[in-house]
Structure 1
Amino acid sequence: MFDTAIVPDEFNHIFSLTTTLVSICANSFLIFVVSRTQVNHIGPYRWLLLGFSAVDIGISTVHTVLVPSCHMTEFGYIFWGNRFLNESNEIGLAACLFWNFLFYQTFILLAFQYVYRYVILCNPPWLSWIQLNPWRNWIVIAVLADTFFVGAVVADTSLGFKPSDVSRTAFAPVLKEVYRIDLFSDNQPGYLAAIYWSQKKTSAAGVMQRLSRTTHFTMLSVTTCYQIIDTNGEKVWLARATTATCILNVLFFGTALVIGFCLMRIVQELRPKEFISARQKRNSCAEFRFTISTQSRQVQRQLFRALLWQTFIPTVTSYVPLAVVFLQPLMIPISLGGLGTIAAMSCQLFPMIDPMLVFLFVKGYRATLLQFVQNGLSTTQAKSTVMKIMLGLWVLSQLAIYVAVCWLSFHYIFIEKEYFSEDFDAASERKRILMWYASCFYVCTCFELGIGLERGVSIRRPTQYYNSKPAYLAILTFTLLSIFLSYLIAYLALSGAGDFSTKVGSVLSNSLDVVAFAVNFLVVYFAKRKDARSEKLLNERYQIREAYSIALAMVPAYFMSMALKFGIFVANWLYVTHAVPYSVAEVIYLSCSELNCGLTACMFLLYHVRLRDKLASFWSRFSRAHVAVENNIEENTESYFRMMTDAWK
Structure 2
Amino acid sequence: MRTSWAHYCVPKFNGFCSFLVNPLFIYLIFDDTKLMLGNYRWLLLFFAIFNMTCSVADMLVPVCVHNYRHAHAVFISGGPFENYSELNQLLLAVRCGFIGTTYGILHAHFAYRFLVLFRNKQLSNYFIPYGLLITIFYCLFHLSFWTITCYFYIGADLERKIYMQDPIMDIYDVESAKINMIVALYKDGSEIAIRKSITGIIANTILSVASVLIYTIIGFLIIRKLRSNTLLMSKKTKRLQDQLMRALIVQSVIPSFVSFAPTMASWYEPIIGFHLGRAVYYTASVLVSTFPFFDPTAIIFFIPSFRAKCINFGKNLITLGKAGKKSKGNNTAQVISRNRLQLS
TM-score by length of 1: 0.48
Q: Deviations over 1:500-556 (max 9, x none)?
A: xxxxxxxxxxxxxxxxxxxxxxxxxxxxxxxxxxxxxxxxxxx75523467x7xxxx
Q: Deviations over 1:549-602 (max 9, x none)?
A: 67x7xxxxxxxxxxxxxxxxxxxxxxxxxxxxxxxxxxxxxxxxxxxxxxxxxx
Do 1:58 and 1:102's aligned partners in 2 also have CA atoms closer than 8 Å?
A: no
Distance in 1, matches of 2:193 and 2:96, equals 25
Distance 1:191 1:118, change over 3 A: same
Distance in 2, matches of 1:196 and 1:309, equals 35
Aligned to 1:639: none
Do 1:114 and 1:259's aligned partners in 2 also have CA atoms closer than 8 Å?
A: yes
Distance in 1, matches of 2:107 and 2:28, equals 24
The reply to whether residue 95 of structure 1 matches residue 88 of structure 2 is no
Structure 1 letter corresponding to 2:176: L
Distance in 2, matches of 1:96 and 1:271, equals 44
Structure 2 letter corresponding to 1:266: I
* Counterpart among 166, 172, 176 of residue 169 in structure 2: 176
Distance 1:380 1:197, change over 3 A: closer
Distance 1:195 1:39, change over 3 A: farther
Distance in 2, matches of 1:252 and 1:21, equals 28
Distance 1:189 1:121, change over 3 A: same
Aligned to 2:5: 10
Structure 2 letter corresponding to 1:192: I
Residue 316 of structure 1 and its aligned partner are, at CA, apart by: 1.3
* Structure 1 residue matching 2:148: 3-state secondary structure: helix
The reply to whether residue 194 of structure 1 matches residue 184 of structure 2 is yes
Distance 1:338 1:544, change over 3 A: closer
Number of residue pairs matched by the alignment: 338
Q: Deviations over 1:411-448 (max 9, x none)?
A: xxxxxxxxxxxxxxxxxxxxxxxxxxxxxxxxxxxxxx
Do 1:122 and 1:265's aligned partners in 2 also have CA atoms closer than 8 Å?
A: no
Distance in 1, matches of 2:321 and 2:201, equals 58
Residue 237 of structure 1 and its aligned partner are, at CA, apart by: 8.6
Structure 1 letter corresponding to 2:152: L
Aligned to 2:111: 115
Distance 1:17 1:152, change over 3 A: closer
Do 1:70 and 1:338's aligned partners in 2 also have CA atoms closer than 8 Å?
A: no
Runs (5+) with no aligned partner, structure 2: 340-344
Aligned to 2:214: 258
Distance in 2, matches of 1:30 and 1:91, equals 34
Mapping for residues 215-226 of structure 1, pairs under 5 Å? none
The reply to whether residue 370 of structure 1 matches residue 311 of structure 2 is yes
Residue 267 of structure 1 and its aligned partner are, at CA, apart by: 0.8
Aligned to 1:269: 225
Aligned to 2:196: 240
Residue 88 of structure 1 and its aligned partner are, at CA, apart by: 3.0
* Counterpart among 153, 156, 165 of residue 160 in structure 1: 153
Distance in 1, matches of 2:31 and 2:316, equals 16
Residue 321 of structure 1 and its aligned partner are, at CA, apart by: 0.7
Mapping for residues 4-43 of structure 1, pairs under 5 Å? 8-43=3-38
Do 2:76 and 2:179's aligned partners in 1 also have CA atoms closer than 8 Å?
A: no
* Counterpart among 311, 330, 336 of residue 271 in structure 2: 330
Structure 2 letter corresponding to 1:359: I
Distance in 1, matches of 2:222 and 2:60, equals 38
TM-score by length of 2: 0.87
Mapping for residues 343-382 of structure 1, pairs under 5 Å? 343-379=284-320
The reply to whether residue 57 of structure 1 matches residue 52 of structure 2 is yes
The reply to whether residue 546 of structure 1 matches residue 324 of structure 2 is no
Structure 1 letter corresponding to 2:100: Y
Distance 1:177 1:326, change over 3 A: same
Aligned to 1:312: 253
* Counterpart among 66, 74, 82 of residue 77 in structure 2: 82
Runs (5+) with no aligned partner, structure 1: 199-226, 229-234, 274-285, 387-453, 459-465, 467-542, 553-607, 610-649
Residue 271 of structure 1 and its aligned partner are, at CA, apart by: 0.7
Distance in 1, matches of 2:279 and 2:71, equals 13
Do 2:254 and 2:291's aligned partners in 1 also have CA atoms closer than 8 Å?
A: yes
Mapping for residues 428-507 of structure 1, pairs under 5 Å? 454=325, 458=326
Distance in 1, matches of 2:295 and 2:276, equals 32
Residue 348 of structure 1 and its aligned partner are, at CA, apart by: 1.8
* Structure 2 residue matching 1:72: 3-state secondary structure: strand
Do 2:67 and 2:266's aligned partners in 1 also have CA atoms closer than 8 Å?
A: yes
* Structure 1 residue matching 2:74: 3-state secondary structure: strand
Distance 1:337 1:237, change over 3 A: farther
Structure 2 letter corresponding to 1:135: I
CA RMSD of aligned residues (A): 2.9
Residue 86 of structure 1 and its aligned partner are, at CA, apart by: 4.8
Distance in 1, matches of 2:330 and 2:125, equals 68
Structure 1 letter corresponding to 2:119: N
Q: Which has the larger displacement, 80-89 or 301-310?
A: 80-89
* Structure 2 residue matching 1:39: 3-state secondary structure: coil
Do 1:195 and 1:241's aligned partners in 2 also have CA atoms closer than 8 Å?
A: yes
Distance in 1, matches of 2:310 and 2:276, equals 46
Q: Which structure would you say has the larger Rg?
A: 1
Residue 192 of structure 1 and its aligned partner are, at CA, apart by: 1.3
Distance in 1, matches of 2:82 and 2:141, equals 33
Distance in 2, matches of 1:88 and 1:16, equals 22
Aligned to 2:282: 341
Q: Deviations over 1:107-136 (max 9, x none)?
A: 210111001111111229xxx755542313
Distance 1:86 1:298, change over 3 A: closer
Do 1:74 and 1:335's aligned partners in 2 also have CA atoms closer than 8 Å?
A: no
Do 1:55 and 1:102's aligned partners in 2 also have CA atoms closer than 8 Å?
A: no
Do 2:76 and 2:82's aligned partners in 1 also have CA atoms closer than 8 Å?
A: no
Do 1:56 and 1:351's aligned partners in 2 also have CA atoms closer than 8 Å?
A: yes
Question: Deviating runs (4+, > 3 A) in structure 1?
Answer: 128-132, 333-339
Distance in 2, matches of 1:152 and 1:342, equals 23
Structure 1 letter corresponding to 2:84: S
Structure 1 letter corresponding to 2:71: G
Distance in 1, matches of 2:134 and 2:146, equals 18
**Percent same amino acid among aligned pairs?**
16
Do 1:42 and 1:299's aligned partners in 2 also have CA atoms closer than 8 Å?
A: no
Residue 35 of structure 1 and its aligned partner are, at CA, apart by: 2.2
Distance 1:132 1:236, change over 3 A: closer
Aligned to 1:149: 142
